[in-house]
Amino acid sequence: MPAIEITALHKSFGSLEVLRGIDLTVAAGEVVCVIGPSGSGKSTLLRCVNLLEEPTSGSIRVAGIEVTDPDCDIDAVRRGVGMVFQQFNLFGHLTVRENVTIAQRRVLKRSRAEADRIAAENLDRVGLADKASSYPAQLSGGQQQRVAIARSLAMEPQLMLFDEPTSALDPELVGEVLAVMRGLVADGMTMLVVTHEMAFAREVASRVVFMDDGVIVEQGPPAEVFGKPREERTREFLHRVLEPARVSETEIGAHLTDGTA
C-alpha cells in the first residue's frame, strides 16, 4: 500500500490555478524531494496531503485512507502524519519540553510521565537533550527547527512532510537541521520533502520531483534528474540554481523583458 497516492489533483485560489492535475505516489520508506521555482505549487501540494489546503478536485490517499472523502476522519489521519513548516511554530511561553509534550497529552492522551519520557528520547534524537528547560527565544533558529522536528517525531508518525524546513535559517545553521533529516532517512522514515537544498536532495532522495507552473515536469532518481534531465525546463532551472555565477547577462535581460525574473 502506498504511503501517499495522489490522483488528478487540482487546487485553485479564486481564478488562480496553482495545481493542475498532479499524479504522484510515494511508497512506504521512500524519500521524495520536490524541487522547483517559487510559485510552482510545491508547498500547496504538500499542504493538500493532510488537508491544510482543501483540494479543488482530485483524490488523495494516505496509508490507504482517502482524505478527500468528506466522511474521512482527518484528525485521525493527521495523527500518523508529522509536518515541519518553514517557520517553527513553537509556543514561546512554553519550554522546549512542554512544546514537545503538549500535543502528546492533549491529542494522544498520554500521561505526563510518558509524554516527558518520549519527549526526552526525541530531544536526544535531535541533539537537544540539554535544552529541555529552555524557552524558544533562548535557542537559535536551527535549534528551534530541531525542536519542531522532535515535536513531530514524539507523535510517532508513519510519514513526515517537510515544507522547506531550512528556508528561514541562516546558512550556517542549515547543516544541523539537514543532519537530523539524514538520520530520519537512515531510520527508514517515509518522507515527502519540499526543499531548495539541491545537494541534500541529490544525496538522500529516492526520487526527485521537479515541479513548475502547477504540474510535475519531470521525476526520477537523483542521478537522472540532476545528471541527465530530460526536459529543457528542468535543465534551465538546474542551470540557474546550481551555477548562478554562470547565468549570462543575456539570460537575465531576457527574463527581465518577458517579466519572469
pLDDT(256) > 60: no
The pLDDT of residue 258 is 55
pLDDT(254) > 60: no
Q: Are strands 4-13 and 57-62 parallel, antiparallel or unpaired?
A: antiparallel
Q: What percent of the chain has pLDDT over 70?
A: 93
pLDDT(261) > 80: no
pLDDT(251) > 80: no
pLDDT(89) > 80: yes
Name the band, by pLDDT with cuts 50, 70 and 90, for residue 232: very high
The values of phi and psi at residue 192, to 5°, are -115, 115
Comparing C-alpha atoms, which of 196, 193, 188, 189 is closest to residue 207?
Answer: 193
Q: Give the chain as a 3 state SS string.
A: CCCEEEEEEEEEECCEEEEEEEEEEECCCCEEEEECCCCCCHHHHHHHHCCCCCCCEEEEEECCEECCCCCCCHHHHHCCEEEECCCCCCCCCCCHHHHHHHHHHHHCCCCHHHHHHHHHHHHHHCCCHHHCCCCHHHCCHHHHHHHHHHHHHCCCCCEEEEECCCCCCCHHHHHHHHHHHHHHHHCCCEEEEECCCHHHHHHHCCEEEEEECCEEEEEECHHHHHHCCCCHHHHHHHHHHHCHHHCCHHHHHHHHHHCCC
The pLDDT of residue 1 is 84
Residues found in the chain:
261
The pLDDT of residue 217 is 97
pLDDT(260) > 70: no
pLDDT(250) > 70: no
Q: What percent of the chain has pLDDT over 90?
A: 87
pLDDT(171) > 90: no
